[in-house]
Structure 1
């Protein structure tokens, strides 16, 4: 693209060629020509931007959304991290203690989580586990185990809270790169109403579906099994039924379609960290735990667990100077019927 100065010099040369006079840079006409050159340069920038938005390979934002809509694809929304909050008392409860739905706890960094249903800590007990989710959707809601420890709205009689396991499944809204890849793939794997691409594309149109894998002839000729996941992992019964009803209405004649939840395969992760002499190991440990929890989402359906990807994720966490993955010992192959999920996560300091 030409710069303003290049356009201005071309105008001066054209003026001299046509009039036989060279303009002085300080005269009024030269100033006007420079202002005009700036406007022409702005128009060229606008024209190039419009050209970029005309093709899915270069379109961005809302314009990429419109290209996706032409292929029946929508940008996946951000998802909330989910997990469990454990409420406790110092002594066994003298009476049943109510914990209302929406009770909020948070990390020391101010990331908030709320219970998704009401619960009761029974008389004579010290703890009760309650399902919870991040207040705000996005990957920021992924939190390592034992990091949600601050009660912001304290139920009567409850002394504290903690998350025994990591909060996971939180994901940001699909970015342009991921959406663009799906749009371009839809041109490369053209759905024809009968192939795997058709069933996967139809399943992914449903809000709450993070990934889909279709297997033809899964139970013999004329059968198709479609495995789907939610952002947090395995889909619930309502989502399975919603997708099943849709595919049942759109399937080929005489084809038996099943929509299934994948088998979850637990992957234990053990990693040693070196945070340097001046690093805060606990802070970095929490960040690595959150990053690992955020990687094991429903989008891993059918994908292999590669140590290289996991290592890159860990090394990109601020404060990590070096790391060593002890488990898993090797890559795990992908399987369309299986979803890798995070098992026991152990993060410890690397020995000198």
Structure 2
């Protein structure tokens, strides 16, 4: 409905017209007169009440409300906005003297070069360097470096720092000299925006009381931001035919979602699955890709800045691919051009040493093992 709103001048003019029509005498409506002052005072109150009504109508609908008002509207349906998530990265701790054992314990803090963003070492039992007894990553005699996962201390996109941005060790760490991240941090997201919140609510409403693919997808999407998934019907966890069974492959952008996340997905799907059906939830098979891009750039441009921009753009894209999504070599070339206006040519792109595109199956996800930009 279109509202017939009036500004201050219109309200005063309409009030003066109505008053004059009802009076047998000519009213003094000159600037500074008492009667005009009364009309203008009433117009100010009317303008304020008009604003209150507009705001009330705006907040009464999910389509026009926003922020905390939209949260309150959605809360009537027990539907919550997805919170912000923390970025993760892999950093390399290195040393010059490799003569003795050195430990990098969980909780070790590292920072970006400007000190603004802090990251904390987290456990990774799958790492060959992990020592469960000390809850640390171990540098044995002869080892000069070890790769360690870290998580940002705060949530949000601001922690998706570029490659080689993490260079400071802010915890006391004996026997370790330096730290760096070869690839940019990823996975940090701000809290769900109003538009995404509304779109997810529409899917939520449309999937109620329906044991459909949409209902299952809505249940998964309501767990946290940044999840990608693939739903395979009538197959078991090995991909063999299994009528009445469906398989869900879930990834949070890391390639190795935690068991806690997989458990949360199982619980959410169990609430909407068809009766009499069986299902399984598993992490994807990670296909690591070594990306090599050769570029040319404007002679006056700063080489390190151009290389860093292309590296970050390519790594962010590859590490953000959904489960089952392909990686075309031509797309990598386009990313290089988009990363910096100083890039004039992309002479070659190789994926794992070849020029062919990568096409994973629906059980797999592509992640960057390395991104080398030659300029």
TM-score higher than 0.5:
yes
How many corresponding residue pairs? 344
8 Å contact from structure 1 (residues 227, 337) kept in 2: yes
In 1, the alpha carbon distance for the partners of 2:361 and 2:72 equals 33
Aligned to 2:62: 56
Within-5 A mapping of 1:1-352: 1-19=5-23, 20-69=26-75, 73-92=79-98, 94-109=99-114, 110-117=116-123, 118-187=136-205, 189-207=206-224, 210-218=227-235, 219-248=241-270, 250-264=272-286, 268=291, 270=293, 272=295, 277=300, 280=302, 282-283=304-305, 285-286=307-308, 289-290=311-312, 293-295=315-317, 300-301=322-323, 315=338, 320=341, 327=349, 337-347=363-373
What is the alpha-carbon distance in structure 1 between the residues aligned to residue 324 and residue 77 of structure 2?
A: 23
Question: Hey, what's the Cα distance between the residues in 1 that align with 2:360 and 2:51?
Answer: 45
> How far did 1:161 drift?
1.0
**Equivalent residues of 1:16, 1:22 under 8 A apart:** no
Q: 1:335 to 1:37 in 2, by over 3 A?
A: farther
Q: Structure 1 length normalisation: TM-score?
A: 0.79
CA deviation digits over 1:86-125, x for unaligned, max 9? Answer: 1122222x32223332222222243222212432322333
Deviation, 1:196, is: 0.7
Q: Distance in 2 between matches of 1:154 and 1:123?
A: 20
Contact 1:296/1:340 (CA < 8 Å) preserved in 2? yes
Structural RMSD (CA) = 3.8
Alpha carbons of structure 1 residues 62 and 284: separation in structure 2 relative to 1, 3 Å: farther
- The Cα shift of 1:292 comes to 5.0
Which stretch has the larger CA shift, 67-76 or 47-56? 67-76
1:77/1:48 CA distance change after superposition, 3 Å: same
Scaled by the length of structure 2, what TM-score is found?
Answer: 0.74
Task: Provide the C-alpha distance between the structure 2 equivalents of 1:239 and 1:290, rounded to a whole number of angstroms.
Answer: 27
